Structure 1
Amino acid sequence: MVQKYQSPVRVYKHPFELVMAAYERRFPTCHLIPMFVASDVISEEKSDDDSTHRIERRCKLDIDAPRLLKRIAGVDYVYFVQKNTLNRRERTLHIESHNETFSNRVIIHEQCCYSVHPENEGWTCFEQSASLDIKSFFGFESTVEKIAMKQYANSIKKGKEIIEYYLHELEDEGTTHVPRWSPRPASPVKPVTPNTHSTTLPTMPAVAIAAPSETSKEGQADKLDADYINRYLGDLTPLQESCLIRLRSWLQETHKGKIPKDQHILRFLRARDFNLDKARETLCQSLTWRKQHQVDYLLDTWTSPQVLLDYYTGGWHHHDRDGRPLYILRLGQMDTKGLVRALGEESLLRHVLSINEEGLRRCEENTKVFGRPISCWTCLVDLEGLNMRHLWRPGVKALLRIIEVVEANYPETLGRLLILRAPRVFPVLWTLVSPFIDENTRKKFLIYAGNDYQGPGGLLDYIDREIIPDFLGGECMVIPEGGLVPKSLYRTPEELENDDIRLWTETIYQSASVFKGAPHELLIEIIDASSVITWDFDVCKGDVIFNIYHSKRAPAPPKKDPLGAHGITSPGGNNVQLIDKSWQLGQDYSMVESPLTCKEGESVQGSHVTRWPGFYILQWKFHSMPACAATNLPRVDDVLATLQVSSHKCKVMYYTEVLGSEDFRYTMNLRFKKGGLFTCINNTSSN
C-alpha cells in the first residue's frame, strides 16, 4: 500500500532570493544534517542568461536504522537521486528526488517547491509532498515504514529550522538583501562540467533527512499555511498536518460546492486517531446527514417551542478558564418525561443539535478573542434532584438516540464534562448510557458527589469564581428553575405519530388491569444477589398500592383467567395473579419494600437492590378506601364483585428491567462510601 504525505505551506517572511542564498549554505556539508554524508553531481546545465539552472545529484545518506536491519539489507548507506530546477525568472525552485538503493523493494518519491508568496512578493513559500511504497523488505516492511515515517516527521520539523538558521547567519554577516535576477540576451542551454561543489544545491528527501513541507502546484486556496494551522487549529505533528491536508484536498475534489471548515475536518481526524480512511468515511456520512436534514441552516431556521423556553433547564454561560464556551445543564431539575410527552423525540433532538451548532459558533468566536485555537467546549451538569423519575424508559431511549446522533456528527467537541452533586441513582443512569458514549469522550468526564466539587481539584480549578451560578453557591442567576411540565401540554400518541414521532411506550410498555381482590403481579427471578430491579409505571385509572415481595420458591404458574371474556386478559388489560391464597406472609414470602400508594395520573419510577437470590414479585393492588379495609371477602368473590362495579377497576402501564450486579457496579470507577456516592475523577487533557 502506498503511503502519501503532505505538509502545509511553510512561509519564510523573507524574499525568494535571500531564502535561496540561505538554502545554498546547507551544502556541500551541513553540521545541522549529520546524516548527509556526501554528494556527487551527475549532471548540471544552465541557460546562457543564467535564468535557469538544472542540477542532478547523487546523495549519500546514513539512515537512522537499526544495525541489524542494515546487516540484513547488506548496506550501511542509502543513495538518493535528486533533480533540482531553479528558475530565477519565475522565482521558483522545484526539487524531485527518489531512492536509488533498494528501488526494487521500496519506492520513495518526493516533490518540493520554493516559490514567491501569492499575496506578498517579499515572502517565500515552501511546499512538500512524498510517497512511500514498500513492496518487500526482507520481512521488515512495517519496521521500514515506521523508520520512514519517523524520518519524514523529523525532516519536516528540522527543515525550516535549518533555513531560519542560515537566514539569521546571513543577517549577522550584514546580508539582508539579494538582488533579483534581471534579463539578459538568452542563448541555448549548454552543458556544464560536473562539479561536486556547485553552489546551487539540492535538498535531501523528506523521508531521509531534513526539509520542510507540502504539495505540488495547485490552486493556492487549496493549501493550508503552517502559521494558520498553528494559530487556528493547534499544534499538530507533521503526519497529522499531512492527514488534514490530504483529506481537505480530497473533499475539494469530490464534494462540489461548500466543504466543511478545517476545524470540523480536524475533529473527525482526531476522533479516529488520524486514520485517514476511517475519518473520511465517518465525515462523508456526517456531511450527507447534514445535507439531508439542512443542519447548516439550523441556527437560522430553528425556533425553540415555548415549552422548551419555559421548562428546559440549560443554557450557555461565559467560558471556562481555558477559554472554552461553557454550557450549564440542570438535569436534576428537568422534567424529562414531561418534555418528551409534550414535544416528542424529534423536537428534543433538534434542540440539542441547535445547542451543538451554537457551540461550534462560539468556539470560532473564542478562538478569535483569545488568540489561540479553541475547538471544544465545557459542559457542567448539575444532578441535584436526579431520581428514578429521570430514568423513565422512553426518556432514556430518546437520550440514547440523541447521544448516538451527537457522537456520530459532533466528535471531539466536548473538551470537559463536569458532573456535580451526583446522587445514588446516578450509577443506574450511567450504566444505561455509558456504552453509547465514545471511550475518548468518557475520559473527559469529571464526577463529583455531594459538595466534593467545592474542595481542591474541584469546580474552581476550571471556572472563575465570579461566573459560578447561584445554585452552586455563586452569584450568577443564569439557568431557569425548570419545574414539571403541565400535563395539559402533553400530546397524545396519535398527535406525535402524525408528526412522524413515535413514543417508545408503544413497544416497551405493557398494560394491566387491577381489580379489587385481583391484583396484577409480575414474577422476576434473580440469580445474583445485589442485582437491581428497576420499574417505571403510570397509573392510568384509579388508585393502586405497589408492593415488592421475595420468595425462595417459585409460585405456581398462573392459571388462565376464566374472566378473559370480560377483557381482563386482553392485550389492553392483562391481569396475572401469582401469590397463592394459601401462602402466608412472613412464612412463604416476605415484603422487601414498604407499600407505596399511587394515585390516578401519577408516574412512578424506582429501583430495588436485591439482597438475596430467588423470586421477586412486583404487585399492583387495588387501593381500597379505609371504610372498606375491614371487609375480608374471599378473593374470587371480590373479583366477581368488581365486575359489577366499574369504579373498582384500575389500569396501569408499566415497564421493568433487571440490571446485573456487574453492570450495576460498572460506573466508571464510581464508589459508594458511607451511603453516598464517592467522588471519582478521571483527569482530562486539554484539547
Structure 2
Amino acid sequence: MVQEYQSPVRVYKHPFELIMEAYVRRFPKCPLIPVFVDSEITTENQSEDGSVLMTERRCTIDIDAPRLLKRIAGVDYLYFIQKNTLNRRERTLRIEVHNETFSNRVIVRECCNYTVHPENEDWTCFEQIASLDIKSFFGFESTAEKIAMKQYASNINKGKEIIEYYLRELEEEGVTYIPRWTPLVVSGTGNAGLQLPPLSSARAIAVNSAKDGLPSKDPACPTELLSGSPDDKLDADYIRRYLGDLTPLQESCLIRLRQWLQETHKGKIPKDQHVLRFLRSRDFNLDKARELLCQSLTWRKQHQVDFLLDTWESPQLLRDYCTGGWHHHDRDGRPLYILRLGQMDTKGLVRALGEEVLLRQVLSINEEGLRRCEEYTRVFGRPISCWTCLVDLEGLNMRHLWRPGIKALLRIIEVVEANYPETLGRLLILRAPRVFPVLWTLVSPLIDENTRKKFLVYAGNDYHGPGGLVDYIDKDIIPEFLGGNCTCDIPEGGMVPKSLYRAAEELESEENRLLTDSIYKSASIFKGAPYEMLIEITEASSVITWDFDVCKGDVSFNIYHSKRAPQPARKDALGAHGITSLGAINAQLIDRSWVLGQDYSIVEKALSCREGESVQGSHITRWPGFYILQWRFHSSPACTASSLPRVDDVLASLQVSSHKCKIMYYTEVLASQDFRGSMTSLESCHSGFSQLSAATTSSSQSHVSSISR
C-alpha cells in the first residue's frame, strides 16, 4: 500500500533570499538532525546568466531501526539522491528526492518547493509532498513501513526548528537582509536595473530535511480561507489558529480530503472545520471519513438542512414545554447547552407534536451549535469546534421510558451521529436517578465509542464541590436550579395537556417526513437501462434547469428533443422471463424504432460525470416539443440511445452491484422572462450545495445552454 503525505503551506515571514541562505547552512551535515549523517555534491551546473543553479547531492541517512532489521537488510546507512533547482530570477527552489538504496524493493519520492508568498513578496512559502511504496522488504514490510513513517513525521517537525535555528544564527552574525539577484550589466547596453521576479504560485513540496514554515508570531494574522476555490491552500498558521494543533499526518489527511472534494465537487466544499470533524470521527482514516462525509453532504442537500435555521420556526407548544436552551459557555470557551430532561414531558411532546417536529428541533440545535462554534472561535482567538451539553435528570421516571418516545430518541440519535460527528465536546449528566441505567442501556449502543468517553455522570449532589461542575463551568454562570446564582432562561416544562394530543393516525402519516420528503428525487441507472425523464415544452426559449449529484458509479448525461410524444416501453416481455418485481427497471421513453436525426435529436453534448460530482446547468430551448433528460451507465455506448434494455443486461444489472449507478436530481422549467442567469431557479428553491461551504460556484451560461460541475 502506498503511503502519501501532503503538507500545508508553511509561511516564513522572511524574504526568499534570506531563507535560502539559512537553507544552505545545513549542508553538508546538520547536527540538528542526527539521522542526516553526511552529504556530498555529485554535480553542479549554473546557467550562463547565473539565474539558475542546479545541484545534485548524495545524502547518507542513518535510519533509527532495530539492529536486527539492519543486519537482515545488510546495510548500516541508506542513500538518497537530492536534486535542487534554484531559480534566482523567479525566486523559487524545487527539491526532488528519491532513494538509491533498495530502489528495487522500496520506492520513496519526495518533493518540496520554496516560493514567494502570493500576497507578500517579502515572505516565503513552503510545501511538501511525499510517497512511500514498500513492494517487498525481506518479510518485514509492515515493520519497515511503520519505522519509515515514524521517522518521516519526526523529520518534518525538526524541519521547522532547523530553519529557525539558522535564521537566528544569521541574525546573531548581523545578517538580516540579502539583496535579490540581478542580471549582469553588459557594457554598451542600457541600464539593467533590479528585476523583480513574478510572484510564483507553484505548488510546494519537501525532502528528508523538510524545512517547514516558521510559526506566525501573530496568531490572528492569517485570514480564514474561503473554501471553494481549487487554488486555495491551507496555511500552517491558519490550521493552528482555526483548526488546532494537528500532527503532520493529520494535516496531510485534511489536505488530501479537501483536495478530493475540490476536484469532485468543483469548488463547492464544506468548511475545513466540518471536514476535520469527519476525519476525527474515523480516526483520520481517509477512506472511511470521505464516505461518511459524502453521505452527510448528500443528506444535507436532499433535505435542505442548510436553510433550517432560516425557514423553520419551532411551534409555540415546543417553546413552552421543551426544557432546553443555550446558556453562555464552559471554561474551555465551548458553547453550553442545558437540557432539563427530567422536567420535560417527552411522552406528551411526542403525542402532541410527533417525531418529525422533535427531529427538526434537534437538528436546529445542532445547526445553532455549529454557528456558535464559529462565533466563539473568533471571540476567543482559538479553535472551538464542539460544544458542551449539561443534562439535568432530576425528575426522570418511568414515564420517560415510554416505548414510542425511546424509539423516537433512538432515531434522532442515529441521524445526529451520522451527520454531526465530533460536535459534542463533553456531556455532563447531573442528578442521575436509579432509573438512569435502564435508559443508558437502551441508548448507549447507538452512540459512538469516542462520544461515550466524553460522558460524565453525577448521581445525587455529587456535582457540588471540587471535581464536580465547577471544574467545567465557571461558578458565576451555574444556573439557580443547580445551586448557582445565574438566571437561566429555560422553560420550566411541565405536563403537556392531553387536549393537545393528536390522533395516532395523523402522527403516523407524518412520521419520518424529514427522512423521505425532498424536492430532490433519487433514481437508479443500470447497465443497459438508462434513466430518462420527460419534459414537455410549449413555448420556445423556455429554460430547463437541473441539479444532480452522482451518488454511486459514473454516468453520462444527455438531453434529447423530439416533436413526437414518447410512449413508455411495455415490460410484458420481461415478465415472461420470471421477473416479477419491475420497480427497479427503468421505463424507456425513446422508442427502439426511432432514428437519431429524424425522430429525435441531441441538443446537448454528452457529459461524463464521476461518482461524487455535483452537476448544475441549464438549457434554453429553441423549439417547443418534448425534451428527454437521460442518465446512462458510463460505459454504455452513447450512440444507441434508442435501444431497449436486453433481458440479459437487466438480469446482470440486478445481480452485479458494479453495474448500477445512483443519482439524486432536481429539475425545473422556467419561462424565459423569469430566467435571470444559470441556476436562478434552483437558488430560488433553496437548492445548491451545503451551506457548510463558505462559497459556491454557479454554472456558466452560453447563448444556447450551460452545463457545469
User: TM-score surpassing 0.5?
Assistant: yes
| Counterpart in the other structure of 2:707 | none
Tell me how far 1:244 sits from its aligned partner.
0.7
Question: Structure 1 counterpart of 2:337, which letter?
Answer: Y
Question: Structure 1 counterpart of 2:344, which letter?
Answer: M
Tell me how far 1:473 sits from its aligned partner.
1.4
Relative distance call for 1:38 and 1:477 in structure 2 (3 A) is closer
Relative distance call for 1:427 and 1:500 in structure 2 (3 A) is closer
Contact 1:45/1:55, CA 8 A, preserved across alignment: yes
| Counterpart in the other structure of 1:55 | 55
Relative distance call for 1:8 and 1:237 in structure 2 (3 A) is same
| Counterpart in the other structure of 2:674 | none
Structure 2 distance, partners of 1:15, 1:308, is 60
Contact 1:151/1:208, CA 8 A, preserved across alignment: no
Question: Structure 1 counterpart of 2:40, which letter?
Answer: D
Equivalent of residue 504 in structure 2, options 493, 499, 517: 493
Structure 1 distance, partners of 2:511, 2:147, is 56
* 1:125 and 2:125 correspond: yes
Root-mean-square deviation (CA), in Å? 1.9
Tell me how far 1:334 sits from its aligned partner.
0.5
Structure 2 distance, partners of 1:501, 1:118, is 50
What per-residue deviation string (whole Å, max 9, x for no partner) do you get for residues 146-193 of structure 1? 11111111111111110111111111111110001112379xxxxxxx
Structure 1 distance, partners of 2:494, 2:267, is 46
The equivalences for 1:68-87 within 5 A come to: 68-87=68-87
Relative distance call for 1:208 and 1:502 in structure 2 (3 A) is closer
Equivalent of residue 484 in structure 1, options 495, 501, 524: 495
The equivalences for 1:508-527 within 5 A come to: none
Question: Structure 2 counterpart of 1:39, which letter?
Answer: S
Structure 1 distance, partners of 2:66, 2:35, is 14
| Counterpart in the other structure of 2:449 | 439
Tell me how far 1:258 sits from its aligned partner.
2.1
Structure 2 distance, partners of 1:287, 1:500, is 23
What per-residue deviation string (whole Å, max 9, x for no partner) do you get for residues 212-263 of structure 1? 379xxx9884311111111111111111111111111111111134211111
* 1:471 and 2:490 correspond: no
* 1:371 and 2:381 correspond: yes
What per-residue deviation string (whole Å, max 9, x for no partner) do you get for residues 94-119 of structure 1? 01110011011100000100001111
Structure 1 distance, partners of 2:409, 2:56, is 64
The equivalences for 1:229-240 within 5 A come to: 229-240=239-250
Contact 1:151/1:209, CA 8 A, preserved across alignment: no
Equivalent of residue 348 in structure 2, options 307, 323, 338: 338
* 1:399 and 2:420 correspond: no
Q: Secondary structure at the match of 1:454?
A: coil
Question: Structure 1 counterpart of 2:165, which letter?
Answer: Y
Structure 2 distance, partners of 1:318, 1:432, is 31
Tell me how far 1:37 sits from its aligned partner.
2.0
Structure 1 distance, partners of 2:513, 2:181, is 74
Q: Secondary structure at the match of 1:247?
A: helix
Contact 1:112/1:213, CA 8 A, preserved across alignment: no
Q: Secondary structure at the match of 1:121?
A: coil
Contact 1:155/1:211, CA 8 A, preserved across alignment: no
Relative distance call for 1:34 and 1:462 in structure 2 (3 A) is same
Tell me how far 1:288 sits from its aligned partner.
1.0
Relative distance call for 1:501 and 1:125 in structure 2 (3 A) is closer
Contact 2:464/2:470, CA 8 A, preserved across alignment: yes
Relative distance call for 1:213 and 1:21 in structure 2 (3 A) is closer
Relative distance call for 1:288 and 1:430 in structure 2 (3 A) is same
| Counterpart in the other structure of 1:426 | 436
**Alignment gaps of 5+ in structure 2:** 187-204, 215-227, 515-709
Tell me how far 1:493 sits from its aligned partner.
2.3
Tell me how far 1:12 sits from its aligned partner.
0.7
Contact 1:156/1:213, CA 8 A, preserved across alignment: no
Question: Structure 1 counterpart of 2:298, which letter?
Answer: T
Question: Structure 2 counterpart of 1:479, which letter?
Answer: I
| Counterpart in the other structure of 2:359 | 349
Tell me how far 1:62 sits from its aligned partner.
1.2
| Counterpart in the other structure of 1:98 | 98
Contact 1:148/1:208, CA 8 A, preserved across alignment: no
| Counterpart in the other structure of 1:162 | 162
Structure 2 distance, partners of 1:345, 1:140, is 55
* 1:308 and 2:318 correspond: yes
Question: Structure 2 counterpart of 1:230, which letter?
Answer: R
| Counterpart in the other structure of 1:267 | 277
* 1:321 and 2:331 correspond: yes
Equivalent of residue 426 in structure 2, options 416, 419, 424: 416
Relative distance call for 1:502 and 1:407 in structure 2 (3 A) is closer
Structure 2 distance, partners of 1:60, 1:301, is 64
Structure 2 distance, partners of 1:29, 1:413, is 46
Relative distance call for 1:450 and 1:259 in structure 2 (3 A) is same
Q: Secondary structure at the match of 2:297?
A: helix
Q: Secondary structure at the match of 2:421?
A: coil
Q: Secondary structure at the match of 1:157?
A: helix
Q: Secondary structure at the match of 1:122?
A: coil
Relative distance call for 1:219 and 1:263 in structure 2 (3 A) is closer
Relative distance call for 1:501 and 1:486 in structure 2 (3 A) is farther
What per-residue deviation string (whole Å, max 9, x for no partner) do you get for residues 386-438 of structure 1? 00000010100000011111111111111110000111111110111011111
Structure 2 distance, partners of 1:247, 1:334, is 42
| Counterpart in the other structure of 2:220 | none
| Counterpart in the other structure of 1:576 | none
| Counterpart in the other structure of 2:539 | none
Contact 1:35/1:209, CA 8 A, preserved across alignment: no
| Counterpart in the other structure of 2:143 | 143
Structure 2 distance, partners of 1:489, 1:441, is 36
| Counterpart in the other structure of 1:382 | 392
| Counterpart in the other structure of 2:108 | 108
Tell me how far 1:42 sits from its aligned partner.
2.5
Structure 1 distance, partners of 2:105, 2:378, is 49
What per-residue deviation string (whole Å, max 9, x for no partner) do you get for residues 440-476 of structure 1? 1111111111111113211111111121111111231
Contact 2:356/2:510, CA 8 A, preserved across alignment: no
Structure 1 distance, partners of 2:229, 2:76, is 41
Contact 2:320/2:493, CA 8 A, preserved across alignment: yes
| Counterpart in the other structure of 2:290 | 280
Q: Secondary structure at the match of 2:89?
A: coil
Identical residues among aligned pairs (%): 81
Which TM-score applies when normalising by structure 1? 0.68
Q: Secondary structure at the match of 1:65?
A: coil
Structure 2 distance, partners of 1:275, 1:7, is 17
Q: Secondary structure at the match of 2:96?
A: strand
Contact 1:159/1:212, CA 8 A, preserved across alignment: yes
Tell me how far 1:56 sits from its aligned partner.
1.5
Contact 2:95/2:206, CA 8 A, preserved across alignment: no
Structure 2 distance, partners of 1:502, 1:251, is 29
Structure 2 distance, partners of 1:107, 1:348, is 55
| Counterpart in the other structure of 2:604 | none
* 1:2 and 2:2 correspond: yes
Which TM-score applies when normalising by structure 2? 0.66
* 1:249 and 2:259 correspond: yes
Q: Secondary structure at the match of 2:85?
A: strand
Tell me how far 1:207 sits from its aligned partner.
7.3
Contact 2:40/2:57, CA 8 A, preserved across alignment: yes
Contact 1:9/1:226, CA 8 A, preserved across alignment: yes
Tell me how far 1:502 sits from its aligned partner.
8.8
Contact 2:52/2:88, CA 8 A, preserved across alignment: yes
Contact 2:19/2:163, CA 8 A, preserved across alignment: yes
